[in-house]
Amino acid sequence: MAKNTTKMLEERLKQNLQKHVESHQTAEFSEGREYILVQVHTIEPNPYQPRRIFPEDELQKLATSIAEVGLLEPILLRKVEDRYQIAAGERRWRAHKLLNKPTIGAIVTSISDSDMAVFALAENVDREDLSDYEIGIAIRQIENLFPTKKKLAESLGMNREDMYRYFSFDDLPEFIRNDLNNNPRLLSRSAASDIRRIGQNNETPLYDTLLAEAWGLLLNGDLEQTKIAGYIIRKLKAEEEGNKDCHIQSTHNLIKDGKKVGYISWAGKHMTIKLNTAALDEKKEKKLQAFLENLMDAEVSEV
């Protein structure tokens, strides 16, 4: 995100926190106190939370710190019927859950949906581990709170061209988005934008096959995300030039425990089977070799 976006969000967060602390919350607070204790089990995450993953080791470190010195800053909540939603402080709340603490110090005030969205982005945008994919989801969640895409971009402090790069993730195939839900940092907004652009100009089965193949190479560590678009373009060009070695007819992904571990592809007169070595132990590797030998009814010499 642009630097001015971070500054804007941080300033907005600071101003709102100060406003909420200084306001007279006679209905919510005991007299002379800045915050109240809220039952942890009555609290829910911010509905506009962009973060998909909260690393367990980081939460454990935070929990250890809270156990030793206490909660240094209350979380910010809004009340929704008989429950609460987090505006800022979800990591602190999760750390309290790890510690099995029944209550947590909080400021409770009325906050609009647009402010909830800004709080969620402000709290996460300056953390290095927040991915483009997560930011893209967050922007999509709040776009209906603004009258136009132009106003949305202005409120986030970015130009529309860069904002639309975040929207590129929407046009990716479901199997890629499923992987991004588990590992959001697999693909940047620029790489996603490049893939979308090629896909818009190549609505053919071959493009889908090549994208699946390139994605498999990325997951196996054999292809960088920034080179996916170039890989597909080269393969498409080779196909157009009649290079039979690149004429891929179809690809079948191999799935284990819901995750892709390899693929089988047919290219011209050749079949390629590619597997992640972590998916096979020594016993399975020998069984696979024996199966192929029996299938072909021919001896395979050891290398």
Domain residue ranges in the chain: 3-131, 172-296
What is the model's pLDDT at position 124?
65
Strand partners, 41: none
CB 218: neighbour CB atoms within 10 A?
20
Determine the Cα–Cα distance for residues 273 and 253; give it in Å rounded to an integer. 10
Encoded tokens for 199: 């896909």
- Cα–Cα distance, 104 to 109 (Å, whole number): 15
Question: Which CATH code for domain 3-131?
Answer: 3.90.1530.10
As a dihedral over the C-alpha atoms of residue 219, residue 225, residue 227, residue 230, rounded to 10 degrees, the angle is 90
Taking only the tens of pLDDT, the chain with its 303 residues reads 444 544 555 555 455 445 444 443 333 333 333 578 999 999 999 887 777 677 788 889 999 999 988 888 899 898 898 899 998 888 899 999 999 999 999 988 888 887 787 777 766 655 556 788 988 887 887 788 778 888 878 777 778 888 899 999 999 999 999 999 999 989 999 999 999 999 888 777 888 899 999 999 999 999 999 999 999 999 888 877 765 554 555 677 777 777 777 777 766 666 777 777 777 788 888 888 888 778 776 554 444
Q: Is the pTM of this model over 0.85?
A: no
The rounded distance, in Å, linking the Cα atoms of 196 and 136 is 15
Two tokens, residue 301:
């010499």
Q: What are phi and psi of 4, to 5 degrees?
A: -65, -25
Q: How far apart are CA 76 and CA 84, in angstroms?
A: 10
Half-sphere exposure of 100 (CA within 13 A, CB side): 0
- What does the pLDDT read at residue 225? 95
Q: Which residues contact 111 (CB under 8 A, 6 or more apart)?
A: 16, 76, 78, 87, 119
pLDDT of residue 127: 56
pLDDT value, residue 250: 64
Residues 303, 295: Cα–Cα separation, whole Å: 20
